Amino acid sequence: DEVKRSPHPIILFIDEAHTMIGAGGQAGQNDAANLLKPALARGELRTIAATTWGEYKKYFEKDAALARRFQVIKVEEPSEELACAMLRGMAPLMEKHFGVRLLDEAIAEAVRLSARYISGRQLPDKAVSVLDTACAKVALGQSATPARIEEARKRMERLDAEAAALLREVAAGARHDERLNELRAIREALTVTLQADEARWGVEQQLVQDIRVLRDKLEHQAGGLSMAEAASVTAPASATPAVKGRKKPGLSVFASADHELLATKQAELAALQGEAPLVPMQVDGHVVAEIIAAWTGIPLGKMVKDEIHTVRNLQATLQERVIGQDHALAAIAQRVRTARAGLEDPNKPKGVFLFVGPSGVGKTETALALADILYGGERNLISINMSEYQEAHSVSGLKGSPPGYVGYGEGGVLTEAVRRKPYSVVLLDEVEKAHPDVLEMFFQVFDKGLMDDAEGREIDFRNTVIILTSNAGSQHIMQACFEKDEELGGAVMKSPEALPDADALAEVLRPTLYKTFKPAFVGRTKVVPYYPLNDDVLAEVIKLKLDRIAARVRANHQAELQYDDALIDTVLARCTEVDTGARAVDHILNGSLLPEVADSVLARMAEGRPIQKIKVSAGKDGQFKFKVS
């Protein structure tokens, strides 16, 4: 009635319009939707309703009488260019609310990076959220104590508390001289660093304040000018024509002086801050990139330099952990470098590799090393044992149960893991044991870098490296890498120079792989054959594993583990099973050597005697011998 009596036209806007159905009464009888139908039918109530497409299908469309009284207008996600224009309209409101300066480059980066890296949300909503967080971060950074100084102060308090506790024990006769001296040295070094940071913090605050005042002054002077006049302020006098009808004597001179002072202050601040500012000056592209990086775990902004250095040295770093497979590491490093340089298709994963070869030659270790080096830790490895998916219906375990089945809404093992860690290595182990229908699910992932889970959510695989391992074709690889020895009367490993070329071997393996996998599946991957391990490589693997044991002894007992070449030769001589590869080394060390050493270590610990050195060797009879002191 109020709408009809109003002298001015009124348009009613109903947000979340699907909630009208069943509101205030039973659905279909006397709820809000049915009360509005007569007015809508007579055209007395001009109405705009808004809801999501899913809720429209679920609630609104089922009431045909209500649905036909509305004209459906589908609001699509705006383009990046249009989203930037929307955000530019909101920028002054954000600046006023947070009291910070929001640069246009921050708007462009918020739209570009959110569109690229944040899935499951739409523009401009996700870009607005990014800018809102970035503005809050800068506003807080300009008024609060920097996190680095706060952490240093808290650490000093912890050191003082530990020192006080030790001094109390010293008064009762305990001896803590070594630890107290160590704490004193740490505190002195921390005090020097903290004082330097606090002094720098004060200087940065003053410079940021000066820059803000100068900027406000320059923008106020240019506020009443046209675009041509504003451009003339910073242009050389000889190159700028006079603007008719308006003369402001001395404006260019003052503006030039202020611009020079502003540039000087900005250069001084940039030199002082370097890569780690204590007081952020403005919301720029770097701040936005840091927000996206914090949300997704993807290195952006200033972290890009560290990632580029890692990618450039990826092959050499991988070779320190994976022995004897240089060709495979070169193929991986080449593909990752190409993707990081932005030359690969951005709508595909960074790499899809099919590792084929005998057991125990380093296929899984390569995936672990890649996750550790490239993605910041082995925790960023998503490992799926594909032997658990030998039935066609088991695909629901990877992407989630469909509606109406047990487990719906809980997500899939693979999709949930990638959704939470979009920047990771995905390892599909023993992929030849999975059902063909399960493997077909990955076609879209390999082609477009996307997978829809059972709930319709789009899971982004574009920032992952996907590694598939298989023993298919192992027999062909063994035959190609071994030759008959007439003197020994058996097969021996070829010399490294005589081994077949990796690319040629991969092509030879394709017919064998086509018997296990569909050609369309193999064609979407980079096939990387892994060679069997010869004695020289196995010796390096043994040394690597002994060094890891030594590191554990050093960490747990502050003791030194020593070993000699006799131990390496003895372990190597026991590795007689060619098919097990380096797994035989683990079996020998964990099953024979370490249990014997552990008994002596435990006996010494039970007696309360410290462990300083563990010396391990092997006798001429091939038996291990050791001494714990």
The domain limits of the chain are 2-67, 147-240+252-273, 303-529, 535-628
pLDDT at 247: 46
The β-bridge relationship of strands 46-50 and 11-15 is: parallel
* Structure tokens given for 11: 């348009």
Contacts of residue 494, Cβ cutoff 8 Å, sequence gap at least 6? 481, 482, 483
Q: Residue range 170-186: average pLDDT? A: 89
φ, ψ dihedrals at 626, nearest 5°: -155, 165
Residues 6+ apart with CB under 8 A from 472: 356, 432, 512, 513, 515, 516, 517
- Spatial contact of 509 and 477, defined as CB atoms under 8 Å apart: yes
Rg (CA), the chain: 34
Please compute the mean of the pLDDT values over residues 314-343 and round it to a whole number: 88
Write out the CATH class of domain 303-529: alpha beta
Distance of CA 24 to the CA centre of its chain: 47
Give the model's pLDDT for residue 139: 93
Least confident of 68-77, 257-266, 413-422: 257-266
Domain 535-628 has CATH 1.10.8.60: yes
Residue 258 reports pLDDT greater than 50: yes
pLDDT at residue 490 tops 70:
no
Mean pLDDT of the chain: 85
> Mean pLDDT lowest for which of 277-286, 322-331, 575-584?
575-584
Q: Does the pLDDT of residue 176 top 80, yes or no?
A: yes
Question: Could you check whether the bond before residue 496 is cis, i.e. omega within 30 degrees of 0?
Answer: no
∠ CA 448-453-459, rounded to 5°: 45
Q: pLDDT above 70 covers what percent of the chain?
A: 90
pLDDT digits (tens, 9 = 90+) for 6-16: 888 888 899 98
On the question of pLDDT at 252 being above 70, the answer is no
Under DSSP, is residue 582 helix (H, G, I), strand (E, B) or coil?
coil
